[in-house]
Amino acid sequence: MNEPLLPILIVPDAMLRRKARPVAEGDADKVRDLAPRMLASMYAAPGIGLAAPQVGELLRLVVVDLGKDETEREPMVLVNPEIVARSAETAIREEGCLSLPGQYADVERPARVKIRWQELDGTKRETEADGLLATCLQHEVDHLDGVLFVDHISALKRNMLLRKLAKEQKLKARD
């Protein structure tokens, strides 16, 4: 995969707080071009999920791959994903984000979700997910609504994490 990489936006970029619009028929070419570039950028980062707003595109498009390594890739491209059901049972999992590099926190979310989306060719899909996939899908769909994983933790923890990120970004800019 030799796709040109896309720059991943870093907090506090305002684009990360904007709500993405649904992908329409007129966006087909753009989305077909964008999806492989998003996957390449996600793999290079490295990460397991990336939403279009993170690369500056306000479209409801998400890529996810929980494959173990380059030999076991299982990329998913989700166009207009929506969570249609959430379990009452919750699970806590450590989350990080390519838009908040090096920052991690335990986040409580529904343990299982049912998600509906379209493939690039327009095929409608629906699946139930649990474990890491459920967490990842919820995290990426949140991005489409301008929500970051730090919005799910206490204000105290969030502020500490954001201050730490700002300090690290300032030091990085100096280098």
Locus of tokens 């996939």: 133
| CB-count exposure of residue 126 (10 Å: 0-12, 13-18, 19+) | exposed
Other C-beta atoms lying within 10 Å of the C-beta of residue 165: 19
Q: What does the angle CA 84 – CA 88 – CA 89 come to, to the nearest 5 degrees?
A: 120
Alpha helices, H only, the chain: 28-44, 131-144, 155-174
Active-site hit among 95, 126, 140, 168? 140
User: Does 140 participate in catalysis according to the annotation?
Assistant: yes
Hey, what are 83's tokens?
């969570």
Estimate to the nearest angstrom the gap between the alpha carbon of 26 and the chain centroid: 23
What are 48's two structure tokens? 């397991």
Rounded CA-CA distance 145/49 in Å is 15
- Kindly list the catalytic residues: 140
